[in-house]
């Protein structure tokens, strides 16, 4: 079955440590996104990628990095520069990048990141 | 610039009574609007979307929403609540611009509680 797989489901980070969250999709989608969810706030965009080998900063990119070397993979690294990393992270993808008819997002099941 | 405001962080209804979840938006362009639902321990699911066709949009599970440009609103309704409707609901706006990544802006969410 096609879908988006995020791993791990739960992740713990020590002070000063970088951690990488995995997001893989087999839907042949061009665009992929990383969102962060905090209590009382809507999902906020961290990074997005419209095509392989290209990505752009979202609204809260500081302290994060991404890569898009393969169409199906969009890993997110939470660096030590991110001072408040505890949150629920959602990866999403969608088929195309233009027009109004194809903005439906497909979401992964999320990763809960906590700081030890 | 675009923004979305969900006017109620919590809504509580009795089973069998109507549901109203309010959403107001602002957008510089003709927007696309969405409602997503997030059940506990599950991923986000698209309920319905408006993309400049009919202003009254019907979604899954008996939900519908009406796009009112004059009021910049996109309220979600259901005639009769069911216990399984208890979840968190997100209103989302997209400016639909090409080349801009079609970034989605999420509201802060409304927690719907359904009581017997």
Q: Per the structure block, which two tokens stand in for A113?
A: 């990141």
- Which member of A42, A48, A94 has the closest CB to residue B106? A42
Flag whether pLDDT at A102 surpasses 80.
no
Which region holds residue A53: left if phi is over 0, alpha if psi is between -120 and 50, else beta? left
- Which member of B9, B32, B108 has the closest CB to residue A100? B32
Sequential DSSP letters for A32-62: EEEEEE-TTS--EEEEEEEETTEEEE-TT-T
Q: What is the pLDDT of residue A104?
A: 67
The answer to which of A63-72, A95-104, B52-61, B77-86 has the lowest mean pLDDT is A95-104
A95 CB-near residues (< 8 Å, 6+ apart): A27, A28, A29, A30, A31, A102
In Å, how far is B21's CA from the nearest CA of chain A?
Answer: 15
Flag whether pLDDT at A52 surpasses 80.
yes
Flag whether pLDDT at A8 surpasses 50.
yes
Which residue out of B5, B40, B44 would a mutagenesis test of the A interface target, given it has the greatest number of A Cβ atoms within 10 Å? B44
Q: What is the pLDDT of residue A21?
A: 96
User: How far is A63 from A37, CA to CA, in rounded Å?
Assistant: 16
Q: Dihedral of CA A77/A79/A83/A86: which sign?
A: positive
Q: Residue A8, preceding bond cis, omega within 30 degrees? A: yes
pLDDT > 90 in chain A, percent: 50
All residues of chain B having their beta carbon less than 8 Å from the beta carbon of residue A100 are 32, 51-52, 94, 96
Mean pLDDT (10-residue bins), chain B, 116 residues: 89 97 88 84 79 87 94 97 94 64 74 94
Mean pLDDT (chain A) is: 87
In Å, how far is B115's CA from the nearest CA of chain A?
Answer: 22
Angle at the Cα of B88 (from B86 to B89), degrees rounded to 5? 110
If you average pLDDT over residues A58-68, what whole number do you get? Answer: 94
- Which member of A94, A100, A107 has the closest CB to residue B52? A100
């Amino acid at each position: 079955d096609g879908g988006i797989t995020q791993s791990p489901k739960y992740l713990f980070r020590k002070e000063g440590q970088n951690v990488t969250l995995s997001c893989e999709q087999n839907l042949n989608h061009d665009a992929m996104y990383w969102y962060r969810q905090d209590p009382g706030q809507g999902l906020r965009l961290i990074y997005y990628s419209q095509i392989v080998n290209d990505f752009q900063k979202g609204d809260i990119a500081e302290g994060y990095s991404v890569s898009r070397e393969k169409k199906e993979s969009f890993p997110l690294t939470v660096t030590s520069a991110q001072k408040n990393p505890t949150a629920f992270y959602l990866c999403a993808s969608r088929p195309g990048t233009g027009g109004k008819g194809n903005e439906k997002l497909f979401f992964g099941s999320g990763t809960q990141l906590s700081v030890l | 610039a675009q923004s979305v405001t969900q006017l109620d962080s919590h809504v509580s209804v009795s089973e069998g009574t109507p549901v109203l979840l309010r959403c107001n938006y602002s957008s510089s362009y003709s927007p696309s609007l969405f409602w997503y639902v997030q059940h506990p321990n599950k991923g986000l699911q698209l309920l319905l979307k408006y993309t400049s066709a009919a202003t009254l949009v019907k979604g899954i599970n008996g939900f519908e929403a009406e796009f009112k440009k004059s009021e910049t609103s996109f309220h979600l309704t259901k005639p009769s609540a069911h216990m399984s409707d208890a979840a968190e609901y997100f209103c989302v706006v997209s400016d639909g611009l090409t080349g801009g990544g079609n970034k989605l802006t999420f509201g802060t969410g409304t927690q719907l509680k359904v009581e017997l």
